[in-house]
Structure 1
């Protein structure tokens, strides 16, 4: 069993802006610098996603492919970091930032929740390079920060590489329709959240529509902090907070103070 690092209290206070405080209509795409600045100005926590560039640089970008969020196509991981930093995000003047650039922007002024996207393809053990690059970027960072992933192997790697950084599991019901590339038995295994203690997690971030699940209740009863994703209205937030200690939100202005 890997020792855990407590999640800082800052993550349980202000709501956490999902993929930063994005608003396409206002020129703030997901995970973009403008969305990060907006979250800082509003007083929110910030959640971002990490994909690797071809040269191993952690990039702040949600999708595996460029097509939905940019006018380019193809896998993010097949472009160099310099190429990616020059690609403009749709409906804005913004480009794709590196994790190092985001860390400099935030500078400890808000809690920063970093989700590392699975690179194994099957939520399995083929991980390491991206986690090592994230750990290196965070080595000297000062401020409330935590890392998480749907892949427990990625979280276990972070426990070895950055044992001082709080880490958690991103969790859900792992329905087969939502994970077509992952074997059914692996999904059934993950739905029970069996790796929480093994990886030294100190929180979970669970699907807001599945907060009544038995594994969530069991962890909640142990005093484990429960975050949730992705709340999309004040009514949904009110319901989620019956169980969750904090929410990750988008599409509305979440009230400060919960």
Structure 2
């Protein structure tokens, strides 16, 4: 395995969380419209991947359709064609594929791609979505990085797409907030022990916990620290004291000169 560094482009412009979404402007999260708006504004973009029933990597955050569309049930129960025909609530278009998003972005801004946990417990029952993501991104010419809360997914991406940087999404993992996980799993993940196993070259850490000793250790080792999710200029200023860049939503972040 190789450990490609995170391109410097990911450390300049703020990264729009689920793209530059704004329902008042007809741009739902992870929509084509939000992605096009982020590109036009010059922001980096963070998106999420979930699988369709026919193995296509779809750009969608939740594992069910209920919150973001007028449909219900798991996204992985529908084909890619069926999902493309389901309008995102508040916008004019359906759920995009990862391939479509790569075509829209076309290397013009950095693209940070979260592979959503498919195991349900951050375990190793994964693989199909990672394979679809790697295959779709093959040959893409532009700043691209994969990341996941599940370290097994990050490690799998190291094998499937060794030339593309990958990172870990990390947090304090307080068991009160992560009720789907065991206390043992929370304690394990909180220590961020998988940087070497996943050949990870960055983390994206929960902003309120950026002062954690393990996070500072990773920063001291020279690995970039991104953070999630910033929702005001004041919170951004505070986070930037400890993080190399921010993932933001809901306010007009500024691109440094």
| CA offset digits 1:206-228 (Å, max 9, x no partner) | 00111011110110111110000
SS at match of 2:72: coil
- The residue number in structure 2 matching 1:159 is 158
- The residue number in structure 1 matching 2:187 is 188
SS at match of 2:121: coil
Normalization by structure 2: what TM-score? 0.98
| 1:50-199 correspondence runs (5 A) | 50-199=49-198
SS at match of 1:176: coil
SS at match of 1:17: strand
Q: Is the 8 A contact 2:110 2:143 kept in 1?
A: yes
Task: Tell me the CA shift for residue 82 of structure 1.
Answer: 0.6
Distance between the aligned counterparts of 2:159 and 2:150, measured in 1?
15
SS at match of 2:176: helix
| CA offset digits 1:238-258 (Å, max 9, x no partner) | 000000000000000101018
| CA offset digits 1:182-209 (Å, max 9, x no partner) | 1110111000000011110000000011
Distance between the aligned counterparts of 1:13 and 1:5, measured in 2?
18
Distance between the aligned counterparts of 1:249 and 1:72, measured in 2?
28
- The residue number in structure 2 matching 1:30 is 29
SS at match of 1:136: helix
Distance between the aligned counterparts of 2:76 and 2:181, measured in 1?
20
Normalization by structure 1: what TM-score? 0.98
What 5-or-longer segments of structure 2 have no aligned partner?
none
Distance between the aligned counterparts of 1:175 and 1:89, measured in 2?
32
Task: Tell me the CA shift for residue 140 of structure 1.
Answer: 1.1
> What CA RMSD, in Å, does the superposition of the two structures yield over aligned residues?
0.9
- The residue number in structure 1 matching 2:44 is 45
| CA offset digits 1:140-168 (Å, max 9, x no partner) | 10000000000000001000001000000
What 5-or-longer segments of structure 1 have no aligned partner?
none
Runs of 4+ in 1 over 2 A off after TM superposition: none
Task: Tell me the CA shift for residue 65 of structure 1.
Answer: 0.7
Distance between the aligned counterparts of 1:95 and 1:80, measured in 2?
13
